[in-house]
C-alpha cells in the first residue's frame, strides 16, 4: 500500500484543522490524492484535537493504529496521548510547549515526556515553534512553523515539496497574514533541517 | 490561537468547473446541491451538519439561491419542503437528532410527495463526538417510506447528492441523504462540474386533494405511497452508485456508506485485495433486492459491513430467507455495533472473515507509561457563561436556597455539567431543560432553575415557557444570551439582528417574548457586571419563592470568541489582567470557583494569569476579595465598542 499517514495532534485553538487543510491542499495541487479528517468533539473549547492526513493510495480518512509515518505535536502531552498511532519508523515533530489543562492536578514535565519517547526508542525533533512564530510576526503561526518542520524531515518528499506548501499559502492567505505564514514556514523548515543535520 | 475568519480565505465553492478542490464532506454536499440547480436551502445548525448551510450561505449571493438559518429543524424542513412544492429544488440539513424535531413533517412529506427535487440531509454522529445519542436515521427512511442514500467520501457525496435530486424529482418523492461525522468532517479532492441555471422562485399550484392531509385525502395518498414505494424499490437496482465487484470468489462482502472506504483499505493491509467479491451499496433504503440476491447467489458466506445499526444486514438476511438462498450471513457478530467504524475496528472482523491473521501493529500498539491528564473541553477564558454560573450560584447562596435542581440544555453551557459549577443536573435534548423544569417544579419540593442558551430558547423553549406561565410553575428561567449560536461556530439566530447571508434585521428580543407570554418578573443582566447581576438574580429568586411562579433572567453578553476574533481583525488591543503578588493571599477563588483557563495556581497557590489566554473580561478582578487583580492597561473605547458586535 503506497501511502503516507500523518497525524497532527494538539489543543483546540492551535490551528490544527487549518494545518491539515494546507497540507492536503498542497498534495492535491500536485495531483496526489489526499484525505484529512478531524476528530475534535467540542474542542474549540480547549479540548484535545487530532487531524488525520493520508496521502497516496488510500480510500478512507482515518489512520490505523501503528500506521502513522509521522506525528506532528503542537503540544507535548498530546503526542504521548496518541502514541499508539506511532511505530518504530515514525518521525515525531514536536512543539517545545506544554499547555496545562485547567483542572489538572499534576502534569508530566518536559523531561519526563522526552524520557518516555526515548524509552519507546522513537525518533523525534523538538522545535521551539512559539518563538519562531513570534519571530515571524504572530503567536498564532505555530502551526505553520511545524508544517515547515514536517516538510524538512523529508517524510513527504515523494509527494510534496516546500514550494507546494508556499503556493497553497499564497492561495489561502493575503497581505500580512501571508507574509507571516511564509516566514513561519521557512523558520520551521530551517530549524528542523538544522536539527536533522546535527543529528546525522 | 487561530480563529476562523482571521484570514481572507478564497471560498472553496467558487472555483471554476474542472477544478479539483479539497472539500470538506459538508462542502461537497453543498457543491453537489449547487450543481443540481439548488434554489432554496434552510437548516438549523448542529454538528456535524453545520457547514452545509454555512458554505451555501457564503455563496448564495454569487449563485442566486435563497438560504436561511431557520429557528429550528422543523421550521427548516417545512420551509424547504414548501419551496419544493413551488417547483424550486430545495434542501434542508440537520444533525441526526434534529430530524426528531422535524419528524412530524417528515412523515407527512412522504404522503404528499414533492414537486421539484427535495433533499433532507441527515448528518449523523456515530461515537457521539458532539451529540447526546448515536441514533441511525436510516430507520426514519424505513419508517416514513423515504429512500435513504449514503456516500463513503466527499467526492462520492457530491455526485450522490446530484443523483438524489434527480431521483427525488423523478419519483416526486423526498430523499434522505445520510452523512456521518466521517463523511461530513473529512476532506478530500472533489472535481467540479458545471453549475446549471437555477430556479429560486416558482409557483404553488393548488390541489388540496394532494397537499392537505385530512383523513379522506390521506387514505388515498397512503395507497399511492405504497405503489410509489414499489417502483422506488425496483429503481434502486439501477443506481450507478451501487457497484458489484466480482472477483470470482465464494466469499462476498456487502457494504454501505463509510464501510466501503475502510473495507478497501483493510483488504490492502491484509493483503487480500481481489480475493473477495464486493457489493457496494449507496441506496441502503430500500436495499436493492435484485443486486443483493444476484451477489449472494454464487457465494457460500457473506459479511455485511455498515456503521451503527444492522439495517442492511437484516434486509439481506430476510431476502436470503425468503428466496431460500443457502449462504451463511455475518454482520454485527464481526463488526462493532457501537461507535463509528475505522480501520482498527474493522480489521479484526475482516481478517476473521477472510481467514488471515491481524497484523501485529493492531495487536501490540506502543503504550505510554506515564499518566497524561485528560483534557476535557472547558468554557473558554473570558466566556460570559462562566461569570453567569458563578453569579447564579452566589445569588442562590445569598438567598438561602440550598436544595436546587439545575435543568440544563444543549449548547456550550452544557459544559457547566463539570466541576466547579455542576449546574446541568438533567440534559435531555434541545429545549428539554425548561420542559422538564416544569415537571420538576410541580413534582419536587426543591428549587428549580432552568438554564438554556439564546439559540436554544428560540429553537424549542418558548412553548415550555408559555406552559410554565399557564400552569404556574415556580422556577427560575435563566437564559445565557451570547447573541449567537456559539457551540456550532457562530451562526446567527432571531436575536442576533442579522441573517445567514448577513442582512440586517430587527432583533426578536427574549425579554419581549417573556413579557409577551405573561412572565411577570423579567430581568436583564450583564454577567461582566458581577455585583449588579447578583442583585438582580437575588430579586428574581425572591419573586419565585414569594409568588410560586416563573421568573426569567436574561444574561446578555456576546460570545468572547467572536468578540476576540473581531478585535484581532480590527486591530483592537485586548486589555490583559495581571495579579499583584503583594496583594494576592492565595485564596484560590479566581482559579477554583471561576476556574478560568487563563488563571493557574503557582507553587505557593498565588494566582498567575497567562497573558496569551486572558481575554480581558475583568470578572476575576471583580470577584477578588483582596483587590489583587488589575488591568495591564485601561481598556480602550474600541474594546468597549467591539463587544457591541450586533
**DSSP one-letter string for B144-165:** HT--EEE-SSHHHHHHHHHHHH
With an 8 Å Cβ cutoff, is B16 touching chain A?
no
Domains of chain A: 3-96+109-198 (3.40.920.10)
Q: Give the residue-averaged pLDDT of A110-121.
A: 97
Distance CA B540, CA B546 (A): 10
Q: Both B426 and B454 in a single domain?
A: yes
Q: CB distance B22–A24 less than 8 Å?
A: yes
Distance CA A87, CA A93 (A): 14
Which residues in chain B have their CB less than 8 angstroms from residue A65's CB?
Answer: 344, 361-362, 365
Read off the pLDDT band of A1 (50, 70, 90).
low
Longest pairwise C-alpha distance within chain A:
48
Q: What distances in angstroms separate CA B203 from CA A62, B40, B86, B87, one per listed residue?
A: 46, 14, 5, 7
Distance CA B527, CA B555 (A): 6
Whether B213 is covered by a domain: the verdict is: yes
**Parent domain of B636:** 570-643
Q: Both B92 and B216 in a single domain?
A: yes
With an 8 Å Cβ cutoff, is B321 touching chain A?
no
With an 8 Å Cβ cutoff, is A121 touching chain B?
no
Cis before B538? omega within 30: no
* Residue of higher predicted confidence among A39 and B31: B31
Q: Which residues on adjacent β-strands are paired with residue B175?
A: B119
Whether B371 is covered by a domain: the verdict is: no
Examine the pLDDT at B646 and tell me if it is beyond 60.
Answer: no
Q: Give the residue-averaged pLDDT of B252-266.
A: 97
What is the β-pairing status of strands B577-579 and B629-631? antiparallel
Longest pairwise C-alpha distance within chain B:
85
* Percent with pLDDT over 90 in chain B: 93
Examine the pLDDT at B7 and tell me if it is beyond 90.
Answer: no
Q: Both B227 and B330 in a single domain?
A: no
Q: Give the residue-averaged pLDDT of B65-81.
A: 98
Digit-coded pLDDT (tens) for A53-88: 999 999 999 999 999 999 999 999 999 999 999 999
Residue pair A170/A178 in contact (Cβ under 8 Å)? The answer is: yes
Digit-coded pLDDT (tens) for B447-467: 999 999 999 999 999 999 999
Q: CB distance A62–B343 less than 8 Å?
A: yes
With an 8 Å Cβ cutoff, is A167 touching chain B?
no
- E strands in B50-89: 66-69
Backbone angles phi, psi at A3, to 5 degrees: -160, 165
Nearest 5 degrees, angle CA B101-CA B157-CA A71? Answer: 100
Q: Both B282 and B422 in a single domain?
A: no
Examine the pLDDT at B538 and tell me if it is beyond 70.
Answer: yes
Q: Which residues on adjacent β-strands are paired with residue B93?
A: B43, B121
Give the one of B261, B262, B375 whose C-beta lies nearest to A48's C-beta. Answer: B375
At residue A142, the 3 state secondary structure works out as helix
Q: What is the pLDDT of residue A42?
A: 62
Digit-coded pLDDT (tens) for B362-379: 999 999 999 999 988 889
Average pLDDT score, chain B:
95
Q: Both B256 and B231 in a single domain?
A: no
Examine the pLDDT at B4 and tell me if it is beyond 50.
Answer: no
Residue pair B74/B108 in contact (Cβ under 8 Å)? The answer is: no
Digit-coded pLDDT (tens) for B8-61: 466 899 999 999 999 999 999 999 999 999 999 999 999 999 999 999 999 999
Whether B1 is covered by a domain: the verdict is: no
Q: CB distance A59–B2 less than 8 Å?
A: no
Q: Both B102 and B177 in a single domain?
A: yes
Which residues in chain A have their CB less than 8 angstroms from residue B272's CB?
Answer: none
Query: B366, B295, B305: which is closest to B331 by C-alpha?
Result: B305
Q: What is the pLDDT of residue A105?
A: 79
Q: Both B233 and B267 in a single domain?
A: no
Digit-coded pLDDT (tens) for B124-159: 999 999 999 999 999 999 999 999 999 999 999 999
Q: What is the pLDDT of residue A41?
A: 62
At residue B95, the 3 state secondary structure works out as strand
Interface of A with B in 2-21 (CB under 8 A): 11-15, 18, 20-21
Distance CA B386, CA B377 (A): 13
Q: How many domains does chain B have?
A: 4
Chain A's closest residue to B10, CA to CA, is A172
With an 8 Å Cβ cutoff, is A44 touching chain B?
yes
Q: CB distance A60–B344 less than 8 Å?
A: no
Q: Both B632 and B519 in a single domain?
A: no
Distance CA B256, CA B156 (A): 12
With an 8 Å Cβ cutoff, is B378 touching chain A?
yes
Selected for mutation to probe chain A from B2, B364, B369 (highest A CB count within 10 Å) is: B2
Whether B513 is covered by a domain: the verdict is: yes
Q: Both B546 and B585 in a single domain?
A: no
Read off the pLDDT band of A199 (50, 70, 90).
low
Residue pair B226/B173 in contact (Cβ under 8 Å)? The answer is: no
Q: Give the residue-averaged pLDDT of A96-113.
A: 89
Sign of CA dihedral B327, B333, B339, B344: negative
**CATH no. for residue B625?**
3.30.70.20
Sign of CA dihedral B158, B459, B412, B566: positive
Examine the pLDDT at A152 and tell me if it is beyond 90.
Answer: yes
Question: For B478, which DSSP code?
Answer: E
Sign of CA dihedral A159, A163, A169, A171: negative
The single residue listed with the C-alpha cell 498511532 is: A85
Q: What is the pLDDT of residue B629?
A: 98
Contacts 24+ apart (CB under 8 A), B327-331: B327/B252, B327/B296, B327/B299, B327/B300, B327/B301, B327/B302, B328/B300, B328/B301, B328/B302, B329/B296, B329/B301, B329/B302, B329/B303, B329/B304, B330/B301, B330/B302, B330/B303, B330/B304, B331/B303, B331/B304, B331/B305, B331/B306
Nearest 5 degrees, angle CA B107-CA B112-CA B117? Answer: 95
Burial grade of B587 (CB within 10 A; 0-12, 13-18, 19 or more): middle
Q: Both B452 and B593 in a single domain?
A: no
Whether B370 is covered by a domain: the verdict is: no
Burial A139-159 (b: 16+ CB within 10 A, else e): ebbbbbbbbbbbbbbebbeeb
Examine the pLDDT at B84 and tell me if it is beyond 90.
Answer: yes
Give the one of B182, B187, B595 whose C-beta lies nearest to A102's C-beta. Answer: B595
Instruction: Flag the least confident range among A172-186, B213-227, B383-397, B545-559.
Output: A172-186
Q: Both B104 and B91 in a single domain?
A: yes
Q: Both B392 and B343 in a single domain?
A: no
With an 8 Å Cβ cutoff, is A61 touching chain B?
yes
Q: What distances in angstroms separate CA B583 from CA A97, B96, B604, B606, B622, one per listed residue?
A: 30, 52, 13, 10, 14
**CATH no. for residue B514?**
3.40.50.970
Amino acid at each position: 500500500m503506497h501511502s503516507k499517514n500523518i497525524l497532527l495532534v494538539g489543543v483546540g485553538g492551535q490551528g490544527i484543522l487549518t494545518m491539515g487543510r494546507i497540507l492536503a491542499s498542497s498534495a492535491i495541487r500536485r495531483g496526489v490524492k489526499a484525505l484529512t479528517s478531524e476528530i475534535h468533539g467540542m474542542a474549540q473549547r480547549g479540548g484535545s484535537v487530532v487531524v488525520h492526513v493520508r496521502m497516496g493510495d488510500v480510500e478512507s480518512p482515518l489512520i490505523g493504529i501503528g500506521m502513522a509515518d509521522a506525528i506532528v505535536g503542537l503540544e507535548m502531552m498530546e503526542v504521548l496521548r496518541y502514541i499508539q498511532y506511532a511505530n518504530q519508523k515514525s518521525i515525531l515533530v514536536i512543539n517545545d510547549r506544554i499547555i496545562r489543562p485547567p483542572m489538572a492536578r499534576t502534569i508530566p514535565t518536559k523531561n519526563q515526556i522526552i524520557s518516555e519517547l526515548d524509552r519507546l526508542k522513537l525518533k523525534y525533533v523538538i522545535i521551539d515553534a512559539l518563538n519562531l512564530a513570534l519571530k515571524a510576526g504572530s503567536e498564532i503561526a505555530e502551526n505553520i512553523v511545524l508544517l515547515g518542520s514536517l516538510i524538512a524531515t523529508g517524510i513527504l518528499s515523494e509527494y510534496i515539496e516546500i514550494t507546494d506548501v508556499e503556493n497553497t499559502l499564497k492561495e489561502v492567505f493575503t497581505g500580512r497574514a501571508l507574509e507571516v505564514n511564509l516566514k513561519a514556514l521557512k523558520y520551521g523548515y530551517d530549524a528542523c533541517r538544522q536539527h536533522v543535520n546535527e543529528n546525522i | 490561537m487561530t480563529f476562523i475568519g482571521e484570514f481572507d480565505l478564497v471560498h472553496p465553492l467558487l472555483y471554476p468547473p474542472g477544478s479539483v478542490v479539497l472539500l470538506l464532506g459538508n462542502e461537497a454536499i453543498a457543491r453537489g446541491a449547487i450543481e443540481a440547480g439548488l434554489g432554496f436551502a434552510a437548516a438549523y445548525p448542529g454538528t456535524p451538519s453545520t457547514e452545509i448551510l454555512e458554505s451555501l450561505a457564503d455563496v448564495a449571493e454569487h449563485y442566486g439561491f435563497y438560504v436561511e438559518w431557520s429557528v429550528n429543524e422543523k421550521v427548516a424542513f417545512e420551509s424547504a419542503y414548501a419551496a419544493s412544492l413551488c417547483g424550486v429544488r430545495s434542501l434542508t440539513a440537520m444533525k441526526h437528532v434534529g430530524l426528531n424535531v422535524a419528524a412530524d413533517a417528515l412523515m407527512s412529506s412522504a404522503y404528499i410527495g414533492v414537486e421539484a427535487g427535495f433533499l433532507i440531509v441527515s448528518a449523523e454522529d456515530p461515537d457521539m463526538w458532539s451529540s447526546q445519542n448515536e441514533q441511525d436515521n436510516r430507520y426514519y427512511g424505513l419508517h416514513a417510506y423515504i429512500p435513504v442514500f449514503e456516500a463513503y467520501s466527499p467526492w462520492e457525496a457530491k455526485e450522490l447528492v446530484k443523483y438524489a435530486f434527480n431521483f427525488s424529482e423523478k419519483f416526486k418523492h423526498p430523499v434522505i441523504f445520510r452523512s456521518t461525522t466521517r463523511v461530513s468532517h473529512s476532506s478530500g479532492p472533489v472535481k467540479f462540474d458545471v453549475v446549471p441555471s437555477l430556479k429560486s422562485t416558482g409557483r404553488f399550484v393548488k390541489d388540496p386533494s394532494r397537499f392537505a392531509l385530512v383523513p379522506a385525502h390521506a387514505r388515498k395518498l397512503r395507497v399511492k405511497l405504497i405503489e410509489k414505494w414499489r417502483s422506488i424499490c425496483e429503481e434502486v437496482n439501477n443506481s450507478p452508485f451501487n457497484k458489484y465487484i466480482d472477483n470470482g470468489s465464494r466469499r462476498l462482502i456487502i457494504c454501505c456508506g463509510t464501510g466501503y472506504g475502510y473495507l478497501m483499505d483493510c483488504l490492502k493491509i491484509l493483503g487480500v485485495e481481489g480475493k473477495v467479491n464486493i457489493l457496494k451499496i449507496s441506496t441502503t433504503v430500500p436495499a436493492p433486492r435484485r443486486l443483493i440476491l444476484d451477489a449472494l447467489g454464487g457465494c457460500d458466506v457473506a459479511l455485511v459491513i455498515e456503521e451503527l445499526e444492522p439495517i442492511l444486514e437484516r434486509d439481506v438476511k430476510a431476502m436470503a430467507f425468503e428466496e431460500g438462498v443457502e449462504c451463511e450471513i455475518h454482520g454485527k457478530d464481526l463488526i462493532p455495533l457501537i461507535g463509528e467504524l475505522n480501520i482498527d475496528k474493522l480489521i479484526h472482523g475482516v481478517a476473521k472473515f477472510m481467514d488471515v491473521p491481524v497484523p501485529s501493529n493492531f495487536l501490540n500498539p506502543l503504550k505510554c507509561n506515564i499518566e497524561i491528564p485528560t483534557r476535557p473541553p472547558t468554557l473558554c477564558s473570558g466566556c460570559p457563561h462562566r461569570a453567569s454560573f458563578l453569579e447564579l450560584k452566589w445569588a442562590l447562596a445569598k438567598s438561602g436556597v440550598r436544595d436546587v435542581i439545575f435543568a440544563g440544555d444543549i449548547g456550550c453551557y452544557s459544559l457547566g455539567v463539570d466541576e466547579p459549577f455542576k449546574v446541568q443536573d438533567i440534559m435531555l435534548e434541545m429545549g428539554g431543560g425548561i420542559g422538564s423544569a416544569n415537571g420538576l417544579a410541580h413534582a419536587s419540593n426543591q428549587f428549580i432553575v432552568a438554564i438554556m442558551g439564546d439559540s436554544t430558547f428560540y429553537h424549542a423553549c418558548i412553548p415550555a415557557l408559555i406552559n410554565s406561565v399557564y400552569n404556574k410553575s415556580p422556577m427560575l428561567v435563566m437564559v445565557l444570551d451570547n447573541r449567537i449560536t456559539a457551540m456550532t461556530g457562530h451562526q446567527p439566530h432571531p436575536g442576533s439582528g442579522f441573517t445567514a447571508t448577513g442582512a440586517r434585521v430587527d432583533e426578536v428580543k427574549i425579554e419581549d417574548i417573556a413579557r409577551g407570554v405573561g412572565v411577570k418578573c423579567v430581568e436583564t443582566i450583564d454577567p461582566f457586571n458581577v455585583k449588579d447581576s447578583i442583585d438582580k438574580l437575588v430579586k428574581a429568586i425572591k419573586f419565585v419563592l414569594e409568588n410560586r411562579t416563573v421568573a426569567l433572567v436574561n444574561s446578555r453578553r456576546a460570545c468572547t470568541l467572536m468578540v476576540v476574533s473581531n478585535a484581532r481583525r480590527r486591530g483592537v488591543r485586548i486589555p490583559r489582567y495581571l495579579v499583584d503578588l503583594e496583594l494576592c493571599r492565595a485564596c484560590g477563588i479566581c482559579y477554583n470557583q471561576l476556574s478560568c483557563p487563563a488563571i493557574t495556581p503557582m507553587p505557593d497557590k498565588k494566582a498567575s494569569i497567562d497573558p496569551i489566554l486572558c481575554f480581558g473580561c475583568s470578572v476575576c478582578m471583580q470577584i477578588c476579595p483582596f483587590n489583587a487583580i488589575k488591568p495591564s492597561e485601561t481598556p480602550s473605547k474600541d474594546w468597549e465598542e467591539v463587544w457591541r458586535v450586533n
